[in-house]
Structure 1
Amino acid sequence: MWRLTWHLALIIGAYYVVPLGEDQPGWLRALRTAAVLAGIALVARSVAREVRRDSAGERSGLTTFGLALVTVTGVVLFALADYSVASWREGEFAGLETRTDGLYFAVSTLATVGFGDVHAQGQLARGLVLAQMVFNLVVVASAAALLARRFREDQARRRAR
């Protein structure tokens, strides 16, 4: 459990230190955007591969720990995308001004609570949030179901010993 907590802290810490200055050149923004998109695609691919393996009765891929980390990484990458859009294009998000706001918005979108204090206003932000909702419904929900099943199986194995 401590290992998972430590790694989650590292992922969230990295989110807070990625440089996003407004004075950076456009090529750097494009590179960062490509990296975030590639990261999200890698998360989706990793979860899809695990679901396929699991449905085939295999369990040789990601560990439960790895699957949890991959899923959280996807949410943090969307938080970074949300904050980046809010920073680079004024008026796209209402109430999203800090990295904490970005993380808060990504998690509240994932949890489908949507308090309304932070919300997408512009078309780019709405498109991003739409992609985020689809990611949450398909990728995160699949990962959560798989994680729950693996935790139950691990518990059953421990009890059987």
Structure 2
Amino acid sequence: MRPLFRLILGTVALVALYFALPVNIDDSLAVRVVLSVICLVAVTWLIVREVRIQVNTEGSQLWGLGLALVGAVIAFSMTDYVIAFAAPGEFVDLNTRLDALYFALTTLATVGYGDVHAQGQIARAVVCIQLVFNLVVLTTAASVLVGQLRTRATTRSAGKQ
């Protein structure tokens, strides 16, 4: 299976899982916090692992790193969604999973349209963590991904001459 197809298929599967996964809002705050931390640690570990593979293994496939980046956005989106429903008033206008995905992507892109935003202290704390995660982990991973793509394009172009 071609790497781009794997990335597209994996992304579609993650997004479908995100929209289909049942969320039990009745769980205690402690359970939600622990699950969110476990998810964030797992996604961080996966991204760091994929970055190491890219840096240390010549010719490694890039789709795993791309999929890990998608997973990070989905993880924060789900966290935002759960907070919005568990603690109404923490977010303004975050009512659906699509709203949460939209918010996670606008936060990642640092666009901040202002229509959906964190209002409560819990939501603002999570968004602060998300911003730092985006700046440190995702920026590093994206830099490695772009560098690998550039190197491969240069290598292919040199091979054709």
Alignment of 1:8-23 (within 5 A): 8-22=11-25
1:93, 1:118 within 8 Å by CA — same for their partners in 2?
A: yes
Of 2, 6, 11, which aligns to 1:3? 6
Distance 1:104 1:4 in 2: 20
- Hey, what does 2:78 align to over in structure 1? 80
Of 25, 28, 33, which aligns to 1:26? 28
Distance 2:53 2:84 in 1: 38
- Hey, what does 2:142 align to over in structure 1? 144
Point out the more displaced range, 127-136 or 34-43: 34-43
Distance 1:101 1:115 in 2: 13
Q: Which runs of 4+ in 1 moved over 6 A?
A: none
Matched, 1:153 2:156: no
SS at match of 1:116: coil
1:71 shift after superposition: 1.0
TM-score, structure 1 normalization: 0.86
Distance 1:132 1:62 in 2: 28
Alignment of 1:1-161 (within 5 A): 1-22=4-25, 24-26=26-28, 30=31, 33-51=33-51, 58-59=56-57, 63-159=61-157, 160=159
Distance 2:53 2:6 in 1: 25
Q: Structure 1 residues 138, 62: closer, same or farther in 2, change over 3 A?
A: farther
1:2 shift after superposition: 2.3
Runs of 5+ consecutive residues of structure 2 not aligned to the other structure: none
1:47, 1:142 within 8 Å by CA — same for their partners in 2?
A: no
TM-score, structure 2 normalization: 0.86
Runs of 5+ consecutive residues of structure 1 not aligned to the other structure: none
- Give the residue type in structure 1 aligned to 2:155: R
Cα RMSD between the aligned structures?
2.3
1:110 shift after superposition: 0.1
Number of residues paired by the alignment? 156
